Amino acid sequence: MQSVEDRYVQSRFSNTFPRTVELTCPHCLKVAVLEARSWQEHGHEVAASEMTCSRCEGSVLFIQLLTPEATVRENGLYCYPGSARREAMPGVNYLQSLSGPLARTYDSALKLYNTADWGASALMVRHLLQGLVIQLLGETHRDQPLARQLEALPGELDLSRPLQDVAQLLEPAGTFGRQFDDEAAIDKVSADLLMELAEQLMTYLVVMPGTMEDLKKRIATAPVPLRRGSDVA
């Protein structure tokens, strides 16, 4: 089940249940309006409806969570199969802080993707990557190919800095190192921060390399699209 934000609900029945929802159809991959004919309540906790795509007539199951008063719960709408829409990545605010133009380029790439304009989306992603590395490396690398720019990043950026910052926090005299000597004094706030620190570190050291390797394999096995004008044997 995929969460569907209330902002995608275009209209509602008189009882406030969603009537039409706009999303990228998981069947035809087009932005479409899906319409519900009726909703069926189950156990006074959820309601279900099968909505139909206005483009391909494919069906999508929607589940609406209800309040104890049997009214629609805010942002409690889910669908299956999930929308083909891509949402902005977590932490996009940091990209905005780094460069407003880069954040707008990323937003444009998302919008093009979500309208199934694959070619334009891919070109926008390339502009995004080029802009990102130039922002990080400086103008001296502007004329280099994108591949060479990416190869230059480890030599120009201190990629070990996050690990050094964590090490300082965990030193015996560091913020968290001192607390390890008296575990009974660690409260929920400190435990939350430690959990988040560990999760960020695992993401940096384990999750990101693993997901990048998986992505590399998927790219290597993906079918190569024919160029326009190419002959098919």
Residues 150 and 105 grouped into a single domain: yes
Q: Within a domain: residue 68?
A: yes
Asked whether residue 126 carries a pLDDT value surpassing 80, the answer given is yes
pLDDT tens track for 54-64 = 999 999 999 99
pLDDT recorded at residue 229: 59
Domain count within the chain? 3
pLDDT, greater one: 77 or 174? 77
- Domain end position, chosen among 80, 97, 116: 80
Q: Which string of DSSP letters, residue by residue, matches the chain?
A: -EEE-GGGEEEE-TTS-EEEEEEE-TTT-SEEEEEES--EEETTTEEEEEEEETTT--EEEEEEEE-TTSSEEEEEEEEESPPSPPPPPTTHHHHHHH-HHHHHHHHHHHHHHHTT-HHHHHHHHHHHHHHHHHHHH-GGGTTS-HHHHHHHHHHHS-TTHHHHHHHHHHSTTSTTTTGGG-GGG--HHHHHHHHHHHHHHHIIIIIHHHHHHHHHHHHHHSPPPPPTTPPP-
**Looking at 80, 111, 131, which one is the last position of a domain?**
80
Check whether 128 has a pLDDT greater than 90.
yes
Query: pLDDT tens for residues 216-232?
Result: 999 888 886 656 655 54
The single residue listed with the structure tokens 């995004």 is: 128
Answer whether 121's CB lies under 8 Å from 109's CB: yes
In a shared domain, residues 111 and 150: yes
Q: Is the pLDDT of residue 154 over 90?
A: no
Mean pLDDT for the stretch of residues 154-175? 82
87-110 confidence digits (pLDDT tens) = 899 999 999 999 999 999 999 999
Give the per-residue pLDDT at 227.
Answer: 64
Backbone angles phi, psi at 53, to 5 degrees: -70, 135
Judgement on whether residues 9 and 74 belong to the same structural domain of the protein: yes
Give the mean pLDDT of the chain.
88
What average pLDDT does range 55-81 have in this prediction? Answer: 93
Q: Hey, which of 96-110, 115-129, 155-169 has the most confident mean pLDDT?
A: 96-110
For residues 121 and 29, give the distance between their C-alpha atoms in angstroms, rounded to a whole number.
14
- pLDDT band at 214, cuts 50/70/90? very high
229 lies in some domain: no
Identify the band that residue 187 occupies on the pLDDT scale cut at 50, 70 and 90.
Answer: confident
Residue 65 has pLDDT above 50, yes or no: yes
Examine the domain organization and report whether 102 and 74 are in the same domain: no
Chain center to CA of 150: 23
233 within a domain of the structure (yes/no): no
Owning domain of residue 181: 160-218
Partner residues linked to 11 by β-bridges: 20
- Calculate helix-pair angle for 100-114, 118-137, nearest 10 degrees: 160
- What is the pTM for the complete model shown? 0.75
Q: What tokens does 107 get?
A: 């937003």
Query: Is 128 a domain residue?
Result: yes
Q: Kindly report the backbone phi and psi dihedral angles of residue 67, in degrees, each rounded to the nearest multiple of 5, phi listed first.
A: -80, 170
141 in any annotated domain: yes
Same domain, 170 and 151: no
Distance CA 21, CA 28 (A): 16
Q: Quick check: is 226 in a domain?
A: no
Question: Does 71 lie in the same domain as 6?
Answer: yes
Q: Let me know whether 28 and 73 are in one domain.
A: yes
Residues 43 and 103 in one domain: no
122, 147: one domain:
yes
Neighbours of 111 (CB within 10 A): 14
CA–CA separation, 108 vs 103, rounded Å?
9
Residue 227 lies in a domain: no
For the cut 50, the answer to whether the pLDDT of residue 233 exceeds it is no
Does 151 share its domain with 165? no
pLDDT of residue 191: 82
Residue 195: pLDDT over 50: yes
* Res. 17: pLDDT tops 90: yes
Parallel, antiparallel, or unpaired: how do β-strands 9-12 and 31-36 relate? Answer: unpaired
Q: Are 132 and 169 contained in the same domain?
A: no
Domain termination residue (choose one: 80, 105, 126): 80
144 with 174, same domain: the answer is no
State percent of the chain over pLDDT 90.
50
Q: Which one is predicted more confidently, 61 or 137?
A: 61
Locate 68 and state its tokens. 């104890």
Q: CA 1, CA 82: separation in Å to the nearest integer? A: 6
Question: What integer pLDDT is reported at residue 47 of this predicted model?
Answer: 94
Q: Is 184 a member of any domain?
A: yes
